[in-house]
Amino acid sequence: MSSQSFKKKFRVVLTNMDLKFIQSENKIHKNDHVEFLNSSNNCKACGHECSFDIETKRQVPLEKHHVSYFPERIAHVHVECHFAIHHRGLRPDLIEYADGDSRRFYDIQKNSKSKLGGCVA
C-alpha cells in the first residue's frame, strides 16, 4: 500500500487595490538614498499600528509622508495623521522642508520620468 500526501489546494483572489498596494511596496526607488524613519506597520505620528477596515475586513495601509525632500526622508503615517500633520500642526517635528521643496522634488521626478520615456501621471 502506498502512502499519498494530500495537499490542500487554495486560490488567492486579489483586487485592484491589493495589486496597487503590492506594486507600491515593491516599487524600486531610483534614488538609492531614501531613508525610511519607521516600518510600514506603525504610524510615526501616533505610534499605533495599521487601521483595520471592518467593512472590507482588510488592513488599511499607512501613507508615506515626506519629512524632508532633500535628502529624501519618509515616515509611514495613517491617513488621518497625515492630514493632522499638514493641517492641524500635529508633530511639527515631522516637517523638515522649506516652502517650494515639494514642488521642486516632484518637478525633478516628472522630468526624469519623461527623459526615460516613462509614463507621467
- Per-residue pLDDT of 38-86, as tens digits, reads 999 999 999 999 999 999 999 999 999 999 999 999 999 999 999 999 9
- Find the angle CA(14)-CA(17)-CA(20) to the nearest 5 degrees: 100
Instruction: Locate 59 and state its grid cell.
Output: 488592513
Give domain status of residue 77, yes or no.
Answer: yes
Give domain status of residue 4, yes or no.
Answer: no
pLDDT of residue 83: 97
Q: Provide the domain limits for residue 105.
A: 32-116
For residue 20, name the pLDDT band (cuts at 50, 70, 90): low
Give domain status of residue 19, yes or no.
Answer: no
Q: Which is more confident, 100 or 12?
A: 100
Give domain status of residue 9, yes or no.
Answer: no
Instruction: Locate 85 and state its grid cell.
Output: 500633520
DSSP for residue 38: S
Structural domains in the chain (count): 1
Q: Can you tell me which residue has the cell 511639527?
A: 92
DSSP for residue 30: S
Q: What is the pTM of this model?
A: 0.68
Give domain status of residue 18, yes or no.
Answer: no
Close Cβ partners of 44 (under 8 Å, ≥ 6 residues apart) = 37, 38, 65, 75, 76, 77, 91, 94
Give domain status of residue 5, yes or no.
Answer: no
Give domain status of residue 3, yes or no.
Answer: no
For residue 113, name the pLDDT band (cuts at 50, 70, 90): confident
Give domain status of residue 10, yes or no.
Answer: no
pLDDT of residue 28: 44
